[in-house]
Amino acid sequence: MTQGNLIARFAFHQGIHWSITGVMIPVLVLVFQSRGLSLTEVGLVMGTWGITTMLLEVPLGGIADQFGRRRIYLLSLVINAIAAVVLLLASNLSFMLLSAALFGASRAIYSGTLDAWFYDKFQTVSGSHSFHSALALVNVVVTLGLAFGALSGGYLPDLAVQFSLSTQSMYDLNMLVVIAMNGALFALTFLLIPAEGGESAEGEAEPAIGVLKRCQQAFNASISHTVLLRVLQTTLVFGMVLSAVENLWQPYLADIIKDSGYGTEVFGILSALYFLMATCSSLFSVRLLSWLKGSHRKLLFVSYIAAGTILVLLAFSASLLAFAAGYLLFFFLFTLGGNSQSVLLNDHTQAQYRSTMLSISSLVVTVGGVVASVSFGYIADLYGIAVSWWLGALLLMFSSLLFLRIPEAQASAMTEMESL
C-alpha cells in the first residue's frame, strides 16, 4: 500500500463517518422537542451526553491501545446505532437520557481510534507526502462529509412528510438513516481499514501492559513532555474559545438582523460557508507551513494571534455583511493550525498509548467547552456577548505565546514539505 492509497482509503472512510454525524446536526434538538421535552430537559439531555463522553474518554482510549483500534472503532458504530434505535423508540425523558448516554459513550469509544491507526500506518508506507499534508487532504473530505450529511439531514424531514411515513415525528427518518449508515459503515470498515499488527486474524492482542498503566503513562507524558504539555494547554483554550463562539454567534446575529427582513436561511447559509472555510483552511495550511520553513509552532502562533484579532473585530460588527465576513475569516484562521497540532501530538506520543493521548486531547477540548459554556455564557448575560468574545480573544492570543516555548527542533516538520 502506498501513501496515496492509504490517504484515499482513510479519507473516504472518514467522510462517510462524519456524514453520519452531519445527518443529525440540523434536527437533534428538534427531535428532543418533538418528544415533548422542554428546553431545560433538552439541556439535561445534552449535559448527560457530554458528561458521559468526558468520563469514558481516556479509559476507552487505553482500551483501544490495548485491544486494537479498528476493533474498538467497530464497537463505537454498534453503540451509535443502538443509541439511535433507543432515541427512535423513546417517548419519555428517561429513554432520552439513556440515548444521550449511549451517544456519549459511542463518541468516547471512537475518539482516538482510527486517527491513531492512520498515523501509525502512515509511518510504514512509502510516498512523498508529509503527515501534515495527508491530514489536510483527509480533513477536506471530512468537512465535505459533514456538509453533505447536514444538507441531507435538513432535507429528510420534508421527505418523511412527503411520503407520509408513520413515525412519531417527521424527524425520525433521520434516525433511520443513521442506523442504516452505521450498519453500512461497519461492513465497509473491514474493506477499507486493514487490521493492525495487534489485531491479527488469530485475534491476538498486542503485548498487554494494562489499560490503567497505559492511561497513567499517557497522563505522565502529557504533563512532563514539553511539546505535549504546551499542545494540551492551548487545546484547552481552543475548546473554550470554540464553545464561546459556537454557543453565542446565533443570538448575536439574530440581534443584528431582527429588523432587517432577513429570515433564518441566513443561519443555514453561514453554516454551509463555515464548512467551506474549514476546507480552504486545511488546504492553505500546507502552503503556509511551507512558507514558514516547516515550523509548526510558528504556524500555530500566527494563526492564534490572527484569529484572536479577528474575534475582537467580530465583537464590534453591527451589520450582516460585517458579521459574515468576520465570522468566516475567524474560523478560517482559527482552524488553520489544527493539522499542525495533530502532527505535534502524534509525533511526540509513543505508539503504545497513542489512542489514549488522542483521547486526552479530546477530553481537554470537551472540558474547555464545558467551562466556557458556563463562564462565558454567564458573562454574556451580565455584560453582553461582545465582552465574552473580547475575553476569549485575549485568552487565545496569550495562549499562543506557549507555542514559542516549544523548542524549534521539536516543532518543525519531520519530512520535507511539498505543495498540493
Q: Is residue 416 part of a domain?
A: no
**Whether residue 232 sits in one domain with residue 192:** no
Number of domains in the chain: 2
Domain termination site, one of 162, 196, 230: 196
Q: Count of CB atoms within 10 A of residue 212's CB?
A: 10
pTM, rounded to two decimals:
0.73
Q: Is residue 77 part of a domain?
A: yes
Q: Hey, what amino acid is at 147?
A: A
Q: Is residue 417 part of a domain?
A: no
CA distance 50 to 242: 15
Q: Give the CA count within 13 Å in the CB-facing half-sphere of 6.
A: 23
Q: Count of CB atoms within 10 A of residue 372's CB?
A: 27
Please answer whether residues 375 and 243 qualify as being in contact, where contact means their C-beta atoms are separated by less than 8 angstroms. Answer: no
What is the CATH classification number for the domain harbouring 98? Answer: 1.20.1250.20
**Whether residue 362 sits in one domain with residue 334:** yes
Q: Is residue 43 part of a domain?
A: yes
**Whether residue 252 sits in one domain with residue 190:** no
CA 101 to chain centre: 18
Give 333-374 as a DSSP string.
HHTTTHHHHHHHHHHTS-GGGHHHHHHHHHHHHHHHHHHHHH
Q: Is residue 205 part of a domain?
A: no
**Whether residue 365 sits in one domain with residue 285:** yes
**Domain range for 263:** 210-407
Please answer whether residues 285 and 136 qualify as being in contact, where contact means their C-beta atoms are separated by less than 8 angstroms. Answer: yes
Q: Which single residue is written with the C-alpha cell 481510534? A: 113
Q: Count of CB atoms within 10 A of residue 63's CB?
A: 23
Q: Cβ contacts of residue 383 below 8 Å, gap of 6+?
A: none
Q: Is residue 175 part of a domain?
A: yes
Q: Count of CB atoms within 10 A of residue 321's CB?
A: 8
**Whether residue 218 sits in one domain with residue 186:** no
Amino acid 420: pLDDT: 38
**Whether residue 367 sits in one domain with residue 244:** yes
Domain termination site, one of 196, 223, 251: 196
Per-position pLDDT tens, the chain of length 420:
788 899 999 999 999 999 998 888 777 777 887 888 876 787 788 778 878 888 887 777 777 777 778 888 999 999 999 999 999 998 888 999 999 999 989 988 887 788 888 888 888 888 888 888 888 889 889 988 888 888 888 778 878 777 776 666 788 888 999 999 999 999 999 999 987 654 433 334 444 456 667 777 777 877 888 888 888 999 999 989 988 888 788 788 878 888 766 655 676 678 778 878 888 898 899 889 989 988 888 999 999 999 999 999 999 998 999 999 999 999 999 999 888 888 888 888 887 778 778 878 888 888 888 788 778 878 888 888 899 999 999 999 999 999 888 887 655 654 333 333
**Whether residue 12 sits in one domain with residue 93:** yes
**Whether residue 277 sits in one domain with residue 374:** yes
CA distances from 198 to 43, 112, 136, 313 (A): 40, 16, 28, 50
**Whether residue 139 sits in one domain with residue 29:** yes
**Whether residue 254 sits in one domain with residue 147:** no
Q: Is residue 350 part of a domain?
A: yes
CA 32 to chain centre: 22
Q: Is residue 203 part of a domain?
A: no
**Whether residue 154 sits in one domain with residue 82:** yes
Domain termination site, one of 144, 166, 196: 196
**Whether residue 111 sits in one domain with residue 52:** yes
Amino acid 39: pLDDT: 63
Q: Cβ contacts of residue 210 below 8 Å, gap of 6+?
A: 66
